[in-house]
Structure 1
Amino acid sequence: MASNTFSAADSALGYLYQIRVALLWSLSRIKKDVEFVVSLETLDDVTFDSKGGSPEELLQTKHHRTREASLSDMSGDLWKSLRVWFEGHAKGQIPTGTNLYLLTTAGAPAGSAASFLRREGRDVARAQRLLETVPSSSDSQANAPAYSAFLAVSPASRRAILERVVVLDRAPGVLTIDEDLKAEVFWTAEPKHHDAFLQRLEGWWLRRVIKQLSASPQPAGILSAEIEAEMSELREQFKQDNLPIDDDLLEFALDDATYAAHADYQFVHQLKLITVSKNRVGAAIRDFYRAYRQRSRWLREELLLVGDLSRYERKLVEEWELAFEAAKDEIEATAAEAAKCKAAKSVLKWAEQVAIPIRPGVTEPFVVRGSFHMLADEKPPRVGWHPDFHDRLAELLNPGSSVLPKGVTGGGTE
């Protein structure tokens, strides 16, 4: 397939890289136990302010996907960064003393100006001399505004700004930064759960960044306390007596398509047997959907073992049996259908309200309710509501395998 000249893939990866790097640097700063505010696309790609609002660090990120980029003396990446910083100083937006970082996947050639602005082998005076020769020897129109901003200040001012510039070249790319992120969160969860922990942390971070970028009129920064609070919440969820509940499932709202897709499920037929309302059926479908996907993720990420789930389901069935038999004892075997439906609804109400946590810290009700509906959907069903649900379902349904949610295969994975 031919490449698309107008593809935005590189730009998109650059923005994603910026977001991931901002998280990485934020996690690193949190370890220093100093309060800060981080924002994207304000003064720079990433800006770290003190709690009082004064910028302390500005970070430019440059990501290259398919080519071996070079941070030469005429590099566009280098001069774009210098333009942002020199113009920021000229406008009074960047205070003297602010640290300026250029983090790039490109490499600075030996002897280049950028190579002398690294932390190691640093020689700012030499870097300045090399940069001062570029405007007169370059015909780059793209770099021309940067050359003007650089030459507009005195040599002493250039030196003062360059003293704050640090080049971090050959940085890990967007796909290889994971190990650095894991190193920052290694103490938050067991090593085998680092991927699952980071997936949830980055999901929250992306949503928080979107909120920050879309704030109006002035983008509001993200407080370090917010990041610490989310980390603390996730740490609790990854303890032995707990499991993470994912926000996308908590926020899932049943739509007409999902309702229709589940209309012929066995657990739905069980509800229709006892004539519950459409809204109650909808709530059951929502809980079934949430519980199936949440449990599948726990299994896939090895946060929960198949044996743990089997023991939990046995406990649910045992508790249901007590409620089910008690409801049957309240009516005669020859009771009218209305009496049987009333008894069935009492069992369903019990299942909708009972708290039987899969682990002590997991208190989200949809896990219990959805798990009951999953048991009611098995063939043969392990739980039911109508006193004669086995016989009634046999009359109503054709034999066959249970239908799984759209996009879901067997074996407990999504």
Structure 2
Amino acid sequence: MQQRTFDRISVIGLGYIGLPTAAMFASRKVEVIGVDVNAQAVETINRGEVHIVEPDLDMVVHAAVHEGYLRATTETETADAFLIAVPTPFKGDNHEPDLSFIEAASKAIAPVLKAGNLVVLESTAPVGATEAMAGWLAEARPDLSFPQDVRENSDIRIAHCPERVLPGKVMQELITNDRVIGGMTRRCSDMAADLYRTFVTGECVVASGPRVAEMAKLTENSFRDVNIAFANELSMICDRLDMDVWELIRLANRHPRVNILQPGPGVGGHCIAVDPWFIVASAPAEARLIAMAREVNDAKPGRVLDKVRAAIGAHLSQNPDRTAREVTVAIYGLAFKPDIDDLRESPALDIARRIAAEHVGPLRIVEPNVRALPEGLGAATLVPLEDAEAEVHVMLVDHKDFKTTPRPEGQIVDARGVWG
């Protein structure tokens, strides 16, 4: 069967996933309309520039804008296909999924929908979110038919296709990674698969429905979270037993069927730190291991903070003529993973803010991927690596610039094993 073509695609949400996806379609000479509520981001993109850090993204966006294939706006416009890539945060502190951004995006595109359109939810979301989106669209457009009512012959096709990319390698993995597609009907799935084949060289794998596609993405990130929790728990056990966790894992991994991940200061980002809670919310009585892994990883920043307090105390014990106000603390890294500027759900940022709130002395922060410090860091100063002179050094993110840095003098808190 001949692959469908799409003349105009609209991407709703121009963040870390939406903008690279929009740029990828535009690079294939498809007209793309990017929509975002952030007027400053829209203005930046329309200049051919980017507002996020991702290797190669700036070049692709610049070319697509100046060749006329990519344009950003704050208002929705007609298109053949709509991709929704908006945030799915929590409601308050109880880890309840917040679908308000998806609902708002659905209501924004509803007035411009026409028969034959495809709507794809790319946002990582709890099980049932795609069906909820279809419901909001149907409520707003009773003049159109939707797959939950008419099934195969509906006016509008609905599918879920979660992103599965690694920050720092997004432009590569958008092309080469397999895509899981869960349409509300087989025709919905086939149409969505044709859309992604515009640039995807990996396989477009059709799931039995949107719910299993939603669960597949949540499962992928929960798997990693559970394995990271095992490594983080080992690090805490090694602290108690006075062992080097890095040596322990290195030795254990010599077994041909063991591959323990590396511990860290916690888990961050808008995927691994968030998605497992969506599974827990759907089946709290059954998701006991997943919930416990989340609790282990969420507790890790507190353990790192305890080590920082102990390091400051050790320095003061060795220098009884000094006070805490004279102790400089240097923090290395704020991002949630190496070599990116993404601070979402970052345990490093959480630790830095907690240090800033209680440490009375100077605080220097080295984060080569940001131009200014975020809020909540008090009087801390952003400094280049060569200016990180301090009595206490706290390694939180193993950016490539840090890996060749000699072990500094003073007290060391190394949550990433950079300095051994």
What's the TM-score bracket when you normalise by the shorter of the two chains? under 0.3
Report the TM-score when normalising by structure 2.
0.27
The structure richer in strand per residue is 2
The structure richer in helix per residue is 1
Report the TM-score when normalising by structure 1.
0.27
Question: Structure with the greater relative contact order (CA < 8 A, sep ≥ 6): 1 or 2?
Answer: 1
